[in-house]
């Protein structure tokens, strides 16, 4: 599967046959039904190999928590860009990694593109001492009553879901169920993003996008989307229009799972097109530890499938990919000073 730099931003997309989209009940991950869990692992394996992504429902995150978080996101994004609520948490105060990212400020994952999206990013809520010891910027929070508590409640729930899904992927890798979680400790930078794609009539062309085509840099990503506009690559590399009303979450494979599996699992390319309707997304990137070196596991290396990826740490991979995207953005985007 092509990586971010090789994806075709302008390739046409096709609608998906809804009845053929994998949509799994995850209840067995939380109720102790081992037989059903074993069947789920095999179903996810086939979905990743045959389709390249899948949807899930009946998780540990309630509809009420999702709705409350979306309401908090809307309250934040509806506030004026030049007002104190957004300006006080501008990501320029946190090294560009936490807080509010204004529209047109997203890195350009493809050359010449400008993303019509604004964001609010957080990671784990840690103590000041822990942040200092890790050398990472702390979360910053807007002055909106209840916002921090609501967003952190969702973050804790989606992290629990991520840990459960990690067990499934670990077994698909031929490892113990704790393989990924043992490498994704509490201090791993599992970034969560609240994304707002404003309705706009900017024509879809080589430059203007919702967000440009890319693969995610971590192990996998959990998405909740409120409206259509997301497009995903299948295992044949074709772009597919992803529905927003199937299941509760969309799960896609990231670069680190592709590396661990020596290409057996393929990272899912994805992009968002501009739409005349407003979209919101809640995104969690499930990463391994920053210093975790990722390379193909021996069970995926054979005479017919030699080592395809050099060892790289999670942190180094993220920094490398973001540096390229930020350089593209500076070339293309007149809104960036």
What DSSP string runs through 176-225?
Answer: -TTTTGGGS-TTS---EEEEEE----PPPSSSEESEEEE--SSSEEEEEE
For residue 233, give Cα distances in angstroms to 3, 114, 117, 204, 299: 11, 21, 21, 18, 26
CA 258 to centroid of chain Cα atoms = 15
| C-alpha closest to that of 279 among 238, 252, 242, 237 | 242
Please report which confidence band the pLDDT of residue 337 belongs to, taking 50, 70 and 90 as the band edges: very low
| C-alpha closest to that of 90 among 100, 102, 80, 76 | 100
Q: What are 127-161's pLDDT values in tens digits?
A: 999 888 888 889 999 999 999 999 999 999 999 99
Give the mean model confidence (pLDDT) for residues 230-247.
Answer: 94
Please report which confidence band the pLDDT of residue 332 belongs to, taking 50, 70 and 90 as the band edges: low
User: What is the structure's pLDDT at 307?
Assistant: 96
Q: What are 53-79's pLDDT values in tens digits?
A: 999 999 999 999 999 999 999 999 999
Neighbours of 261 (CB within 10 A): 22
Q: Which residues have a Cβ under 8 Å from the Cβ of 171 and sit 6 or more positions away?
A: 41, 177
Terminal-residue alpha carbon distance, the chain: 35
Backbone φ and ψ for 188, nearest 5 degrees, come out as: -60, 140
| C-alpha closest to that of 219 among 268, 175, 171, 285 | 285
Write down the mean pLDDT value for the chain.
93
- Please check the confidence at residue 1 and state whether its pLDDT lies above 80: no
CA torsion, points 293, 295, 298, 304, in degrees to nearest 10? -170
Please report which confidence band the pLDDT of residue 333 belongs to, taking 50, 70 and 90 as the band edges: low
Local structure of residue 124 (DSSP, 8 states): -
User: What is the structure's pLDDT at 336?
Assistant: 42
Higher pLDDT, 187 or 71: 71
Counting residues of the chain whose pLDDT is more than 70, the rounded percentage is 96
Domains and CATH numbers, the chain: 4-332 (2.60.120.330)
| C-alpha closest to that of 118 among 223, 220, 225, 211 | 211
- Please check the confidence at residue 43 and state whether its pLDDT lies above 90: yes
User: What is the structure's pLDDT at 2?
Assistant: 57
Please report which confidence band the pLDDT of residue 203 belongs to, taking 50, 70 and 90 as the band edges: low
Helix (H, G, I), strand (E, B) or coil at 129: helix
Q: What are 110-122's pLDDT values in tens digits?
A: 998 999 999 999 9
Q: What is the pTM of this model?
A: 0.95
- Are residues 109 and 216 in contact, defined by beta-carbon separation less than 8 angstroms? no
Neighbours of 26 (CB within 10 A): 23
| C-alpha closest to that of 100 among 149, 140, 132, 54 | 140
């Amino acid at each position: 599967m092509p990586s971010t730099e090789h994806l075709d931003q302008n390739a046409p997309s096709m609608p998906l046959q809804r009845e053929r989209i994998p949509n799994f009940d995850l209840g067995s991950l939380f109720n102790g039904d081992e037989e059903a869990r074993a069947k789920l692992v095999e179903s996810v394996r086939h979905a990743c190999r045959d389709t390249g992504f899948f949807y899930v429902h009946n998780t540990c995150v309630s509809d009420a928590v999702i709705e409350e978080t979306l309401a908090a996101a809307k309250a934040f994004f509806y506030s004026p860009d030049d007002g104190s609520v957004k300006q006080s948490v501008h990501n320029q105060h946190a090294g560009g990694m936490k807080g509010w990212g204004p529209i047109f400020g997203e890195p350009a994952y493809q050359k010449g593109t400008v993303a019509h999206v604004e964001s609010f990013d957080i990671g784990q809520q840690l103590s000041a001492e822990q942040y200092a010891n890790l050398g990472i910027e702390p979360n910053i929070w807007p002055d909106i009553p209840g916002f921090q508590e609501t967003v952190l409640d969702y973050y804790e729930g989606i992290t629990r879901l991520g840990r459960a899904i990690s067990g499934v992927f670990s077994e698909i890798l031929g490892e113990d169920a704790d393989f990924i979680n043992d490498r994704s400790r509490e201090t791993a930078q599992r970034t969560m993003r609240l994304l707002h794609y404003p309705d706009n009539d900017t024509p879809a062309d080589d430059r203007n996008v919702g967000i440009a085509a890319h693969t995610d840099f971590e192990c996998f990503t959990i998405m909740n989307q409120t409206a259509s506009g997301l497009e995903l690559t299948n295992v044949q590399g074709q772009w597919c229009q992803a529905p927003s009303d199937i299941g509760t979450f969309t799960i896609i494979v990231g670069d680190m799972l592709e590396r661990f599996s020596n290409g057996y699992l393929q990272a899912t390319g994805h992009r968002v097109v501009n739409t005349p309707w407003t979209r919101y997304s809640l995104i969690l990137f499930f990463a391994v530890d920053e210093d975790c070196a990722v390379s193909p596991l021996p069970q995926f290396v054979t005479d017919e499938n030699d080592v395809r990826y050099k060892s790289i740490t999670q942190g180094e991979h993220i920094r490398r990919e973001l540096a390229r995207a930020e350089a593209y953005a500076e070339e293309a985007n007149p809104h960036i000073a």
